[in-house]
Structure 1
Amino acid sequence: MKTVVVIGAGPAGMMAAIESSKSNKVILLEKNNKLGKKLFITGKGRCNVTNNKDISEFFDYIPGNPHFLYSSLYTFDNQRTIEFFEKNGVKLKVERGGRIFPNSDKSSDIIKGFEKALKEQNIKIIFNSEVTGINVSKNVIESVSVNNSSSIKGDHFIFCTGGASYPLTGSTGDGQRFAKMLGHNIIPLTPSLVPLELNGCDFSELAGLSLRNIQIEIKNKNKILYSSFGEIKFTPFGVTGPLILSGSRYVNDKNLNLNIDLKPALDQSELDKRIQKDFLKYKNSEFKNSLNELLPKKLIPLIINRSGIDENKLVNEVTKSERKNLLYNIKNFEFSIKGLRPLAEAIVTSGGVDTLEIDPSTMKSKIIQNLSFAGEIVDVDAFTGGYNVQIALSTGYIAGNNI
């Protein structure tokens, strides 16, 4: 019987340990004092574990090397994820967009499900164990050093150390550094699913404002890189929210703009009629008091400023060209993108171990004979909606199942 050493007790590591323990002795090393520290805070503490879309649709939501994941996602798909958690006592529910959460809305229940499975397989878990060195000979890992002192030997090693986002949870890029030391190419680590910093106004005035049912576009001049409909939220430095997090994956260049259509349900003609209707109602009022039924209060001063209309002008004195300019700014509420927030604030990491150096059907290294990878350490990433956790579980299963 082989001894398998799994490094990292996130979703990928726990699944890899559970699956490999069915025919091997397993040691699971975790640098924190608990399991799934990052998993605990995902989905705002509710833990979106997967999505109920057909597995064939998942690849549309994976901008980072989707083809590499065919074997793992089709082998351990979302239905098997649902079965795994329900078998281990976690009841699940489906929400908007097919997102699947625990019934309780508590990520701790997902971790309890893992704990149950790990206990049933008699897996040895060693907490507070930071891997500080790798001992290798002739393309074979012999042991790992832990906490700069003790050495743990194994026949096969699975790196599941995550990316470099949310470093306080233990994801600090250790695995990528070790993989590089072992000869692997590392695609540079960059933030993905991260808020955007914008130029164009004092965002402290807008901070906390949520806009629902709006359309956004991320553009390079006239080329649309990303477009979607939904909700965003202003922050002291720019914007966040599901649309922004997914769109951030396309912000890898300078000179990009974020365009917001504040009224996507109305075309130009319909919006013009709506504005004229409000203007008629407030014809004897000052312009600054005529937009309260059309726009959120916090937005009005900025829209007025961009329209070029004197805020104290009487509504019945606003010209047709001024009205058209107001309409344009409501449909094209645009900001230049300053950049991404830091990697430490990203939900997931883009980049990691080069997929060309990993066998997608086994997750084994093509360079080191007794090494496998799973989860966010690999250069794969997806949008929000449960896809990233599913990738971790699927790659963890494949890695554990092919020792």
Structure 2
Amino acid sequence: MAENTVLVIGGGAAGMMAAGQAAAGGARVFLIEKNDRLGRKLAISGKGRCNITNDKPISDFCACYPGNGRFLQGILHEFDNVRLRSFLAGYGVETKVERGGRVFPVAGEAESVVRALSKFLAAAGVEVKLGQAAEAVIAVGGKVRGVRVAGGRTYPGKAVIVCTGGATYPATGSSGDGYRFAQDLGHRVISPRPALVSLRTAEGWVSELQGLSLRNVAVTLKVDGRAQASDLGEMLFTHFGVSGPLVLTLSRLAGDALRQGKRVKLEVNLKPGLNPEQLDRRLQRDFSQAANKQFKNALNALLPQSLIPVIIRLAGIDPDKVVHQVTRNERRSLAALLQSLPLTVSGTLPLAAAIVTAGGVDVKTIDPKTMASKSVQGLYWAGEVVDVDGVTGGYNLQAAFAMGYRAGRAAGRYAQGSV
């Protein structure tokens, strides 16, 4: 066994942070990455802009993780959003806050974050091994001994930190290897499933709206007719259904309900800033100004152009009808539709297309104070491989960095015999 040596499997956000922290504490560190470069998934996150974290108070973060937020409480406080932004600034990445508290690099490039972490690794003396796929974590007598990679080579080490990611975007290297390592070492793995993922819908008219983005709308998720969650923000229509931040946030609950055989619907409020009476007055005003126009030409100030024919069809109002002939009941039916546009959720996109994986190594098998395995000495976990997932808005990367920070420091101390 190589004393003083920490082996980190996976060169993503959690892995790079863990490796650098372990090395900065004095351990010898090897970072083992199957790809030919570090941070491949990180480099494409946030549509290539990298939503690093969120600006809200760290005490409010745990509520933003539907997957085991309480497990993260102390972890997030140790390496919070303020410390993360300060850390990145120290390596040349200044950050800015955008809508919804989302934090991005000022340069608008996810690659700048990868470069900063690479500088951190170099400064700390981490030995990076690219193009080497880990095949197994070697443990004897309940203690870690090293890592075997493809081709048969074994790296001996006193501590191993598994940061292999989830099962999303497998082309970037996140192909679920860590789950296999966990099961081989006797750890329970909660079945992986998509957390932040686009939804398929049954309505044929949705494809007519492909590419339409709606801002400042409210979406309510209903399961078997009962409202389960609601949020305000932005959504996007696609050729298969709906996507965008609002939908992604609700998708975990929707997917879980569908897997249980329940009926799942979305109701879109296109005018959430108005109560029903205010919306009716708005319609009356608009109709008064367009009294002699055909109904199909009277909604331009109210709705995006591509949405108008769909709404008219769903409202059941003759598009050629002169506006002053629209009845009060028709107007009120239109108003109700505008505030509860129904969508039937028929499924989610597959796990490989999700942004984040729900499920993973059971947090009950991990000590949150160190990220160490409770059953295998010298084994640590960090990042998306752990059964932790957050909503959209920077929370998942913050969790990955914070878990990597804690695991790296703890594994480094262990490898040097100081714990």
TM-score, reference length from structure 1: 0.97
Q: Which residue of 2 aligns with 1:371?
A: 379
Q: Take 1:148 and 1:71, find their aligned partners in 2: how far apart are those partners?
A: 40
Correspondent of 1:383 among 384, 391, 395: 391
Correspondent of 2:180 among 177, 180, 188: 177
User: Does 1:397 find its partner at 2:400?
Assistant: no
Q: Which residue of 2 aligns with 1:79?
A: 82
Correspondent of 1:274 among 282, 292, 307: 282
Correspondent of 1:5 among 4, 7, 10: 7
Indicate the larger mover: 233-242 or 194-203. 194-203
Q: Which residue of 2 aligns with 1:47?
A: 50
- Give yes or no for contact 1:30–1:126 (8 Å, CA) kept in 2: yes
Correspondent of 1:99 among 96, 99, 102: 102
Correspondent of 1:16 among 15, 18, 23: 18
CA-CA distance at 1:140 after TM superposition: 2.3
CA-CA distance at 1:143 after TM superposition: 2.6
CA-CA distance at 1:222 after TM superposition: 4.2
User: Does 1:348 find its partner at 2:360?
Assistant: no
CA-CA distance at 1:43 after TM superposition: 1.1
CA-CA distance at 1:322 after TM superposition: 1.6
Q: Deviations over 1:224-275 (max 9, x none)?
A: 2111111111110111111111111211113111000111112111211221
SS at 1:202 equivalent: helix
What amino acid is the match of 1:319?
Answer: T
SS at 2:144 equivalent: strand
What amino acid is the match of 1:60?
Answer: A
Q: Which residue of 2 aligns with 1:60?
A: 63
Q: Take 1:64 and 1:76, find their aligned partners in 2: how far apart are those partners?
A: 19
Correspondent of 1:134 among 134, 137, 143: 137
CA RMSD of aligned residues (A): 1.4
CA-CA distance at 1:4 after TM superposition: 0.7
The unaligned stretches of length 5 or more in structure 2 are 412-419
Q: Take 2:99 and 2:316, find their aligned partners in 1: how far apart are those partners?
A: 40
Indicate the larger mover: 383-392 or 351-360. 383-392
Where in structure 2 are the equivalents of 1:184-263 lying within 5 Å?
184-251=187-254, 252-253=256-257, 254-263=262-271
- Give yes or no for contact 2:276–2:335 (8 Å, CA) kept in 1: yes
User: Does 1:153 find its partner at 2:156?
Assistant: yes
Q: Which residue of 1 aligns with 2:117?
A: 114
What fraction of aligned residue pairs are identical, expressed as a percent? 46
Q: Take 1:277 and 1:53, find their aligned partners in 2: how far apart are those partners?
A: 40
Q: Take 2:151 and 2:400, find their aligned partners in 1: how far apart are those partners?
A: 28
- Give yes or no for contact 1:132–1:148 (8 Å, CA) kept in 2: no
What amino acid is the match of 1:63?
Answer: P
Q: Take 1:187 and 1:392, find their aligned partners in 2: how far apart are those partners?
A: 18
Indicate the larger mover: 157-166 or 261-270. 261-270
SS at 1:377 equivalent: coil
Q: Take 2:185 and 2:27, find their aligned partners in 1: how far apart are those partners?
A: 24
Q: Which residue of 2 aligns with 1:287?
A: 295
Q: Take 1:308 and 1:53, find their aligned partners in 2: how far apart are those partners?
A: 44
Q: Which residue of 2 aligns with 1:30?
A: 33
Q: Take 1:192 and 1:241, find their aligned partners in 2: how far apart are those partners?
A: 13
Q: Take 2:205 and 2:317, find their aligned partners in 1: how far apart are those partners?
A: 20
